[in-house]
A and B are shown apart, each in its own frame.
Chain A
Amino acid sequence: MAGAAAPAAAARVTARPRFGSRQAHLKTLSIAWQLARLDVLRRYTATMLGIVWAILAPLLMSAVIGVVFSNLFGQKLEEFLPYLFLNLTLWAFFAGTIDGGAIAFIAAEGYIKQIARVSFWTYPLRMVLAAFFTLLLGLLAVAGVLLLFGGHVSVTWLLLVPGLAAWLVFGFAVCTISAVLNTWVRDFQHLQAVGVQALFYATPVMFPAALLVQHRLGWLLTFNPLYHLMMIVRVPMLNNSVPEMSHYVASVLSVVFVATVAVFAMRWARHRLVFWL
């Protein structure tokens, strides 16, 4: 019999990884990686300019806003443009993870209802990995602009590694929370969009942070995790210096906080999720 002659093909598949084991985490990462890769390919091969769009779009936007706002705030364009470009790139990642989270489980309905024993963390992770790829591309472009305007690479850029790691975990957690909330209550997305928009204007993305302090709105900075997270990337990259410790402390606390919320949200949702789809 042909089947007996080819024992290799008929060999048993090794036992499915046990929940919470190292192999289980690897499986989650492996699936998320594959799905994110497809997302990235789809996003950039569908258009003629392909991957260039990822860099060009925020760059063009920065250029337009930069010219207007640098005049408005009396900032030098060569300083303001990289500032704006970097901020918008980081913000796009944050907003992207929240938006991606909103559909993370809904887009995976076909898998969730059909294939057992896949960790639900896989689906927000997929969204975050795809967004993080775009973030890295954007940062490369930021570096290019920076060098063009006479900036230079210094050893402080090494601090981008912990800085971006914090963004990655923060994004993953936020994406997961968004995924749970939006699957639970479908039209939560509208409320969420308003929240993100409000946060955008409360965060020094398009304007210098000093402006808030001048207007006695400094507390908006102190309690805004995104401000601190932005600082731990911006200071090493744009100012070539080491960010203040307080930014790191605030960033770590924020990341730990959202990650904890995400874990509890998932624990709560685990046995309910499939019924919401």
Chain B
Amino acid sequence: MLHVDDVTLTFPRPKGSLRDRVSRAFGVLPEESLPPAVTALRDVRLRVERGERVGIVGYNGAGKTTLLKVMCGIYSPSHGRVAIDGDIACLFELATGFEMEASGWDNMLTRGLLLGLSRAEIRERTRDIAEFTELGAALDRPVKTYSAGMFVRLAFAVSTAITPDVLLLDEVIAAGDVRFHDKARGRLEEMVERASILVLVSHSMETVRQMCTRAIWLHDGTIRMDGLPTDVTAAYESGAA
């Protein structure tokens, strides 16, 4: 199960550099020069049980990705709590988090370890992962020579080598070229099948209707609608709740 209980997340106001802080302390810099705090989520209450596939829809800036990041523990909520039963994995921003000077192989090992795999587990999967990336000899090269698509392939292949209970996805499916796209979809579906809970953020209503058993419309940090995918996507598309 995945319980999000009355979660509010306010991004703290960035206080800036030492110079700014000192200037403010002496009144040289007005207090209003601080950027305002942003509340990305307000009292979000969501209970997802075993077997559910939840699609989250909403406009840009509605807090969808932030909600995923709170769920998997990257952001700590300002109020409320998140309770999860089982392993959790989140897939987003696949194009960051590499050791640029290191080879594809070394990055594979690094990311695998970060995701919680043991060295033995990674060794066991190395061939499978390498094959999936289709990077071939490029895996011997430092990843700084890779194209954006190659980065995503590598990260995607490692990130999907684990089998979590709870899977959080943020439209990472836009990976590399078209052929990879189809393959990635297959692999992702396999991963989704094995997970007991899926939470998916998507701009594609079609995807949400196909993959999900439940949909959430997130608007301005609050849940505007919670129901069947067909109902929620229809309401979202017509712009009324």
Q: How far is the CB of A268 from chain B (nearest CB, A)?
A: 13
A169 CA to B109 CA, complexed, in Å: 27
The segment from A34-42, A73-81, A98-106, A244-252 that touches chain B is A34-42
Partner of B87 from the list A13, A118, A271, A275 (CB cut-off 8 Å) is A13
A111 CA to B115 CA, complexed, in Å: 10
Total of A-B residue pairs, C-beta within 8 Å: 105
Secondary structure call for the B interface? loop
* From A13, A17, A187, A190, residue with most partner B Cβ within 10 Å: A13
A13-B121, A113-B93, A185-B18 given; A46·B101 CB < 8 A: yes
Q: What residue of chain B has the Cβ atom nearest to residue A115's Cβ?
A: B114
Q: Is A12 an interface residue (CB 8 A)?
A: yes
A16 CA to B84 CA, complexed, in Å: 12
Residues of A whose CB lies within 8 Å of any CB of B are 3, 8-17, 27, 30-31, 34-35, 38, 41-42, 46, 109-118, 185-188, 190-191, 270-272, 274-276
Q: What residue of chain A has the Cβ atom nearest to residue B12's Cβ?
A: A275
* From A14, A116, A271, residue with most partner B Cβ within 10 Å: A116
Cβ–Cβ contact B96 & A114, under 8 A:
yes
Q: Is B59 an interface residue (CB 8 A)?
A: no
**Interface flags, B3-44, vs A, CB<8A=1, else 0:** 000000001101101110100000000000000000000000
A270 CA to B118 CA, complexed, in Å: 25
Q: Is B74 an interface residue (CB 8 A)?
A: yes
Q: Is B227 an interface residue (CB 8 A)?
A: no
A14 CA to B75 CA, complexed, in Å: 24
A-B contact pairs, 28 of them (CB 8 A): A9-B124, A10-B194, A15-B86, A30-B118, A31-B110, A34-B110, A35-B110, A38-B101, A46-B101, A110-B93, A113-B69, A113-B96, A115-B97, A115-B114, A115-B115, A116-B73, A116-B88, A116-B89, A117-B116, A118-B114, A185-B15, A185-B17, A185-B21, A188-B18, A270-B76, A271-B76, A275-B75, A276-B14
Q: What residue of chain B has the Cβ atom nearest to residue A19's Cβ?
A: B73
Partner of B109 from the list A34, A41, A186 (CB cut-off 8 Å) is A34
**Interface flags, B84-124, vs A, CB<8A=1, else 0:** 00111110111011110110001001110111111101001
Q: Which residues of A sit under 8 angstroms from B110, Cβ to Cβ? A: 31, 34-35, 38
A38-B106, A113-B74, A275-B11 given; A31·B113 CB < 8 A: yes
A42 CA to B99 CA, complexed, in Å: 10
Q: What residue of chain B has the Cβ atom nearest to residue A12's Cβ?
A: B163
A255 CA to B233 CA, complexed, in Å: 59
Q: Which residues of B sit under 8 angstroms from A116, Cβ to Cβ? A: 72-74, 88-90
